[in-house]
């Protein structure tokens, strides 16, 4: 522990005699009622009563509230639990990449070494970069790409190929030529300075190839994969000529232009991938980076036929899906988080526990503790992992909610623990399957579990905080022209925050604004335990 001292007793509230328990109902957001909302479609009398409480308010769990670059960015379990456990908002996404590049930390990673080692010298492989080509700073930023290119050349990489996805969505509709001109200038500078062969190899609009999301259009990903990997696409002598020609043939913006490849004088694609090459995806936002990452690194990939899939070393700028660990290799580590809630609890001598099943065990331990493995103080902490079943989650929507609840009740009734945190994973993991009926059943099991926990909290004169880390089960499908498409991703929905205080008698009230988020919960929990929160924590959601 660093810079952590014991918490000070609260000036006016001594806390309850019983324990404080935080229940994270993973993936349970707040969205309008309707047939796509598994949360509202389920029979959930306990959750309904909680959400109607006077001590209930929605919280933000995406975008800026959890350290992501913009409010267009979905939250996820990793950044959500970081915020819950840290009590503050730490930079994620683009902000994190900027810091990692500026400090040089990105280029000191084993992943950067492994990716570049394959491609050093004239006898090495080719280093490929795929990414959205603009400075829109929603999915990517060209400054990141340029930094990667320059550092690769400095390390001795002699051959690199760029596979550029034209934007026209986060930037003006037909702005590709300006970005290409700048990039060609950077490539010319690198080639002249380092005697290298860096060039653009392929491209196309972001809504035509590669950058699908939510598994809505695998053929889109297949077009991108074949274009970037095998050189399949309309041939042009340069990317600039490709865009100029396509502009003349259509009034569509950059994002809808078809795939193209750059060829040499003999008509051969200049950037086919081969065994021994490396591939870096330079996007930082996850939703449109997951599927192409799966296509490159999943040995058992079946969404489409990849043909002669080359043996490449693949890495993402970030890890785009921390639940599924996609991709395995990534260049920017999670943020450095200190002075977490767990550290303060241990410094104060409060016994506490964390429980979840395997799918989310790391979230209530590793991520909650600021991306740190192991115990903070094993004499004060108890971590329990309930092994998850190795089945499709919609086949067993109850998952391990009941077993988590059993273990939690045992620890609460033991009288040893002042604080506990648990994650019930059903809303997220079943939500990801896109199976509405299974998600409804999952939510009813979550409700059952909360009912049992509330009974115990009441018996022990304790406090239960009910919340979630992000949305998912609240929007299970989208509908267009009467056709429903399963939505298996997280949502931008706010999440519930409810205090159930068995002995509440008006001693405090909810406070705050619509900008409150997950990071405000830590200070609130400290107050409910009878302690002042650290000065630098996000403000408590209650006032006295």
* Distance (Å, whole) CA 414 – CA 180: 65
CB atoms within 10 A of CB 267: 8
In the chain, how many H helices and how many E strands? 16, 18
DSSP 343-384: HHHHHTT--EEEEEEHHHHHIIIIITTTS--S-S-TTTEEEE
Strands 159-166 and 381-386, how do they pair? unpaired
Q: 160 with 118: CB under 8 angstroms?
A: no
Residues forming beta bridges with residue 496, ordered by sequence position: 58
Q: Which of 5, 36, 56, 77 is catalytic?
A: 77
* Distance (Å, whole) CA 415 – CA 349: 15
Asked if 175 is an active-site residue, the reply is no
DSSP-derived 3-state class of residue 335: coil
CB atoms within 10 A of CB 448: 18
Task: Say if residue 125 is exposed, middle or buried (CB neighbours under 10 Å; 0-12, 13-18, 19+).
Answer: buried
Q: 17 with 433: CB under 8 angstroms?
A: no
* Distance (Å, whole) CA 490 – CA 467: 16
DSSP annotation of 285 reads -
DSSP-derived 3-state class of residue 9: strand
CB atoms within 10 A of CB 339: 20
Tokens of 542: 């209650």
Which residue numbers are catalytic?
77
């Amino acid at each position: 522990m660093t810079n952590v001292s014991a918490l000070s007793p609260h000036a006016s509230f001594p806390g309850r005699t019983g324990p404080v328990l935080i229940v994270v109902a993973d993936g349970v957001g707040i969205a309008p009622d309707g047939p796509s909302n598994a949360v509202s479609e389920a029979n959930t009398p306990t959750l309904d009563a909680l959400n109607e409480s006077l001590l209930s308010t929605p919280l933000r769990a995406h975008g800026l509230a959890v350290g992501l670059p913009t409010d267009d960015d979905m939250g996820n379990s990793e950044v959500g639990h970081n915020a819950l456990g840290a009590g503050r908002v730490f930079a994620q996404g683009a902000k994190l990449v900027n810091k990692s590049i500026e400090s040089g930390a990105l280029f000191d990673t084993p992943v950067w070494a492994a990716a570049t080692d394959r491609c050093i010298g004239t006898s090495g492989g080719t280093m490929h970069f795929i990414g959205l080509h603009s400075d829109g700073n929603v999915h990517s930023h060209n400054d990141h790409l340029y930094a990667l290119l320059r550092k690769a050349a400095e390390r001795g990489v002699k051959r690199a190929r760029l596979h550029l996805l034209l934007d026209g969505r986060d930037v003006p509709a037909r702005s590709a030529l300006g970005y290409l001109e700048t990039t060609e200038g950077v490539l010319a500078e690198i080639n002249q300075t380092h005697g290298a062969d860096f060039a653009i190899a392929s491209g196309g609009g972001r809504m035509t190839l590669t950058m699908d999301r939510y598994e809505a259009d695998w053929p889109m990903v297949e077009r991108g994969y074949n274009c970037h990997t095998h050189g399949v696409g309309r041939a042009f002598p340069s990317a600039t000529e490709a865009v100029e020609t396509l502009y003349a043939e259509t009034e569509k913006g950059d994002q809808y232009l078809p795939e193209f490849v750059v060829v040499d004088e003999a008509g051969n694609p200049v950037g086919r991938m081969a065994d021994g090459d490396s591939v870096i995806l330079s996007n930082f936002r996850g939703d449109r980076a997951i599927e192409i990452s799966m296509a490159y690194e999943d040995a058992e990939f079946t969404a489409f036929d990849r043909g002669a899939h080359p043996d490449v070393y693949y890495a993402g700028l970030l890890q785009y899906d921390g639940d599924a660990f996609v991709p395995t290799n990534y260049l920017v580590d999670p943020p450095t988080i200190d002075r977490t809630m767990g550290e303060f609890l241990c410094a104060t001598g409060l016994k506490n526990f964390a429980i979840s099943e395997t799918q989310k065990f790391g979230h209530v331990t590793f991520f909650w503790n600021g991306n740190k493995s192991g115990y903070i103080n094993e004499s004060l902490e108890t971590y329990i992992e309930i092994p998850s079943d190795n089945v499709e989650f919609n086949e067993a929507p109850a998952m391990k909610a009941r077993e988590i609840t059993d273990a939690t009740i045992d620890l609460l009734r033991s009288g040893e623990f002042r604080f506990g945190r648990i994650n019930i994973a059903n809303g997220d993991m079943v939500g990801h399957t896109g199976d509405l009926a299974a998600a409804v059943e999952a939510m009813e099991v979550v409700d059952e579990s909360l009912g049992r926990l509330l009974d115990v909290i009441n018996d022990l004169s304790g406090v239960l905080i009910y919340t979630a880390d992000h949305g998912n089960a609240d929007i299970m499908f989208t509908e267009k022209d009467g056709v429903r498409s399963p939505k298996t991703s997280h949502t931008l929905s706010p999440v519930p925050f409810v205090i159930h205080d068995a002995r509440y008698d008006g001693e405090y009230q909810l406070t705050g604004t619509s900008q409150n988020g997950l990071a405000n919960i830590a200070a609130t929990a400290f107050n409910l335990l009878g302690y002042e929160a650290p000065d630098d924590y996000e403000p408590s959601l209650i006032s006295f």
